[in-house]
Structure 1
Amino acid sequence: MAQSSRKIINDPVYGFITLDHPVLLSIVAHPWYQRLRRINQMAFAHLVYPGAVHTRLHHSLGAYHLMCSAVSELQRKGFAIDEEEALGVKIAILLHDIGHGPFSHALENVLIRGVHHETLSLEIMKVLNKDLDGQLTLGIDIFTGAYPKRFLHQLVSGQLDMDRMDYLTRDSFFTGVSEGVIGYDRILKMLTVRDGELMVEEKAIYSIEKFLVARRLMYWQVYLHKTVVSAEKMLVRILERARQLVMLGADVPACSPVLDFFLQHPQAPATDTSAGPAGWDVNANLDKFCLLDDFDVMSTIKVWMFHSDMVLSLLSRSLIDRRLLKVRFQATNFDEEYVQEVRKTVAAKLDIPIEETRYLVFTGEAVNTTYNSLDEKINILFRDGSVKDISEVDNALIRQTLTSTVKKFYICYLNT
């Protein structure tokens, strides 16, 4: 019996999502894509918002659904997008996050130093393209920006891409944070193209401002919530401590051989030259990477709760039991003398060397820029044919408040 070329998925945010091409079904059925089911979209946000347990697969399918709507709207307005291009841009958005590792951005550049998820996504796409006899070539060109119709790439990666459109909508839905709700349907209706560039019609100005305000509020209320920051930084310190112990020759068993591999070999080569004993070839080890997920990490941390190293076991048990490091934010950097005093207090309480307290007392900064016009712009197409950046529109809220960078400094510390 021939395989059906159409599948309907019931999504809690948008309703029914339709996959209507054999190559799309082949992508979704692939084990490397199915791995996204086992990676939380929002890492540890569920420690604050218990409903935030949706996955990268949910987000990927949601972004694909919005892309279908965007393409249909642009085609309806008469812009030239043939069926091959429509399929290509849908493939690009469906696979845009396939290179994310466990806990997504929380462990970006930690498990694999020197390699970002966009690079891994592209390498995975290339392997899948070979498996699917070159059917992903156009999608890859759109993903990388190599395809001449720039607006197609902007739909995948830009200020108003379907990635951002979905994660704001989906994350606000699953967290219950209504400040993140955006008028995605109206923005999609107002999309247009001018000189090959993606723009929005004048009638969408207020919807765009709402979209940018929602991003700002979601970052500080959800993504950079102090409890989320604490949990994510604790996760990083746990892996750093485990790696340090491995380098010292200690036995630090992981729950899976693939996680063991990345603990032993954190550094991918930055060039074509030999990377030395700690390096490894990205392409040759994609199969290992594509077996990694949140379950490997959390199961291993549960094992490390019982490790003989006090720092590793304390951090691991604290994360599992949600007894997190305390966090304090302020507008200026923390005085180094104050940080050292806190470390001395922790060292005395736990009877450990003060250098080991760097895993339990540390500082950092959280930065967010809602809209940077020096980066890719959001252009507004007016009825008279003129084009303005959203920050240049008369009485624009964006120009007044949202173009500046907001930086907050934090200290995470063991409560003594």
Structure 2
Amino acid sequence: MPYKDDQLHEEKVFKDPVHRYVHVQDRVIWDLIATPEFQRLRRIKQLGTSYLTFHGAEHSRFNHSLGVYEIVRRIIGNFENRDRWNNDERLLCLCAALLHDLGHGPFSHSFEKVFKLDHEHFTQQIILGDTHIHTILEQVGPGFSQKVADVIDKTYEDKLVVSLISSQIDADRMDYLQRDAYFTGVSYGHFDMERILRVMRPIEDQVVVKSSGMHAVEDYIMSRYQMYWQVYFHPVTRSAEVILSKILHRAKYLYEHDYTFKLEPFHFISFFNENVGLSDYLKLDESIVFYYFQLWQEEDDVILSDLCERFMNRRLFKYIEFNPNKQMNEWVELYRLFRETGIDPDYYLVVDSSSDLPYDFYRPGEEEERLPIHLLMPDGNLKELSRQSDIVESISGKKRTDHKLYFPKDVLRKLDDSAAKQRIMQLLHLEQHWKGAENHAD
């Protein structure tokens, strides 16, 4: 029996808090899950530093990847007897769904920004490189690993396959919204996925939704909108991300200026040198990062030691609302005053911005083109979602941006009384407009 058709003698299941069970019948999928590259995802948190805001958010990329696979498996099960679905693509869809996040590094996006990395690039390297994953995929058939990489890269010729994993209503989003809501304990991310799966239909180049399911899709879109602003862009989480990024920047700066670490940062050297090979990348997970952060609390460099102690013990920066278009003069003055009082503003005065576009219609030629969600009308015609839904139309194409200014309030309190301190306190509105709880913030 060809490897691609090889089924397990007995179906394997993973108990899952979101989907109840994740079902595995294909030997290829079972073998991929067992590889070191996929098991590494157990050591990468799905929500990065959000566990410092929502204490239940300890779930991993491993959990999420299994969830995306399960949703795609169920979608395909609904498509099997429908026109325009080629069941020869079944295993390709399942493998791409399972492996789509394979290249995420520790603390994901924060880590990528500091070291100018791209997790999608490393996902493809893992799939196409000298790895256990690649060996297994090639046993399905010569060139099969390239097909999987192309689906994840969104360049595969069958756009219907790509849309299952990467679109404005895909298995990736449907899993992470529900999973992240479950583990953070919020209600925003819940929507009627069962209904959406029932009304999904395959057409030539994308998945569409029967018009009778429009209200379930509206709920999904609004759930995503709420999750981004209530969870993903939570200001306390962003404070932790600011400190995390400043730790990595400081360690890189010290390395480049011949600082003698008490423990040589072996696992970071290729990252500091911006010459990261696949082997180095796979060796660095969050358990290793935490190990260094724990040790760096004892470093002689005061800034690195302080930032690591803050991160490890959740002594985060405080914040105020900040409008860079109207308050840049105040920021320049704050920067000068921080220097004057002996606080390095490059590490302790940080503007952080977050923005999201919850839903967009098709804008040909624009950066990051987004294929819209189409409704399949009773007469067989397609209608773009926002043309039918007043709710979705109200947020379509509207990017919302939020800016915060982060700083160590505890350090400012310890400053000797001076005109500089008084001016800092005035500019930061600490007494009048304090936002952000001392411990847990909603």
The answer to whether TM tops 0.5 is yes
Q: In the alignment, which residue of structure 2 is the partner of 1:182?
A: 191
Q: CA deviation at 1:310?
A: 1.5
Inter-partner Cα distance in structure 1 for 2:348 and 2:334: 10
**SS in structure 1 opposite 2:48?**
coil
How far residue 401 of structure 1 moved from its aligned partner, in angstroms, is: 2.8
- Gaps spanning 5+ residues in structure 1: where? 268-279
| C-alpha distance after superposition, 1:7-42 (max 9, x if no partner) | 211111111211211211121111011110001000
Q: In the superposition, relative to structure 1, how do residues 145 and 337 fare at CA in structure 2: closer, same or farther (>3 Å)? A: closer
Cα distance change on mapping 1:333 and 1:305 into 2, 3 Å: farther
1:389 aligns with 2:384: yes
Q: Which residue of 2 aligns with 1:409?
A: 403
Q: Deviations over 1:233-282 (max 9, x none)?
A: 1101110011111111102366863233323x2x2xxxxxxxxxxxx3x6
Task: Report 1:137-148 matches (<5 A).
Answer: 137=145, 138-148=147-157
CA distance in 1 between counterparts of 2:151 and 2:92 reads 7
User: Which has the greater radius of gyration?
Assistant: 2
- Match of 2:348, as an amino acid? L
- Which one of 394, 404, 408 corresponds to residue 400 of structure 1? 394
SS at match of 2:352: strand
Give the whole-Å Cα distance in 2 for the aligned partners of 1:69 and 1:254. 49
Q: Shift in Å at residue 327 of structure 1?
A: 1.7
Report the 3-state secondary structure (helix = DSSP H, G, I; strand = E; otherwise coil) of the residue aligned with 1:192: strand
Q: Is 1:110 paired with 2:109?
A: no
How far apart, CA to CA, are the structure 2 residues paired with 1:158 and 1:56?
19
Distance 2:169 2:332 in 1: 44
**Structure 1 residues 13 and 3: CA distance shift in structure 2, 3 A:** closer
Mapped pair 1:358 → 2:346: yes
Q: How many Å apart are 1:3 and its aligned residue?
A: 8.2
CA distance in 1, matches of 2:134, 2:75: 28
SS in 2 for 1:54: coil
Cα gap change, 1:54 to 1:254, in 2 (>3 Å): farther
Kindly report which structure 2 residues correspond to 1:14-413, keeping only aligned pairs within 5 A, or say none. 14-82=19-87, 84-111=88-115, 113=116, 115-127=117-129, 128=131, 130-132=134-136, 133-135=138-140, 136-137=144-145, 138-252=147-261, 257-263=266-272, 265=273, 267=274, 280=275, 285-330=277-322, 333=325, 335-349=327-341, 351=342, 356-373=344-361, 374=363, 375-393=370-388, 395-413=389-407
Q: State how far apart, in whole Å, the 1-side matches of 2:378 and 2:355 are.
A: 37
Over 3 Å counting, the alpha-carbon distance change for 1:184 and 1:256 in structure 2 is farther
**2 CA distance for matches of 1:250 and 1:154?**
48
Kept after mapping to 1: 8 A contact 2:120/2:153: no
Aligned match of 1:270: none
- Tell me, which stretches of 5 or more residues in structure 2 are unaligned? 1-6, 364-369, 413-442
Q: Distance in 2 between matches of 1:103 and 1:55?
A: 11
Q: TM-score, normalised by structure 2?
A: 0.83
Distance 1:218 1:3, change over 3 A: closer
Q: Distance in 1 between matches of 2:98 and 2:13?
A: 15
The aligned counterpart of 1:275 is none
TM-score (norm 1): 0.88
Once the two structures are TM-superposed, the CA of residue 345 in structure 1 deviates from its matched residue by 4.3
- How many residues are paired up? 390
Q: Which amino acid aligns with 1:413?
A: F
User: What's the secondary structure of 1:148's corresponding residue?
Assistant: coil
Distance 1:412 1:254, change over 3 A: farther
1:402, distance to aligned residue in structure 2 (A): 4.2
Q: What is the one-letter code of the residue matched to 1:123?
A: Q
Cα distance, 1:130 vs structure 2: 4.1
CA distance in 1, matches of 2:257, 2:304: 14
Contact kept? 1:151, 1:198, Cα under 8 Å: yes
Instruction: Write out per-residue CA displacement over residues 368-395 of structure 1, whole angstroms, 9 at most, x where no aligned residue.
Output: 11012132111111011121111111x5
Residue 256 and residue 397 in structure 1: after superposition, are their counterparts in 2 closer, same or farther (change >3 A)? Answer: same
1:11 is aligned, of 13, 16, 31, to 16
- Counterparts of 1:359 and 1:79 in 2: how far apart (Å)? 55
Distance 1:245 1:207 in 2: 52
Alpha-carbon contact 1:66-1:166 (below 8 Å) kept = yes
Once residues 279 and 18 of structure 2 are traced to their aligned partners in structure 1, the CA distance between those partners, rounded to angstroms, is 32
Alpha-carbon distance, 1:146 to partner: 4.2
Q: Is the 8 A contact 1:364 1:410 kept in 2?
A: yes
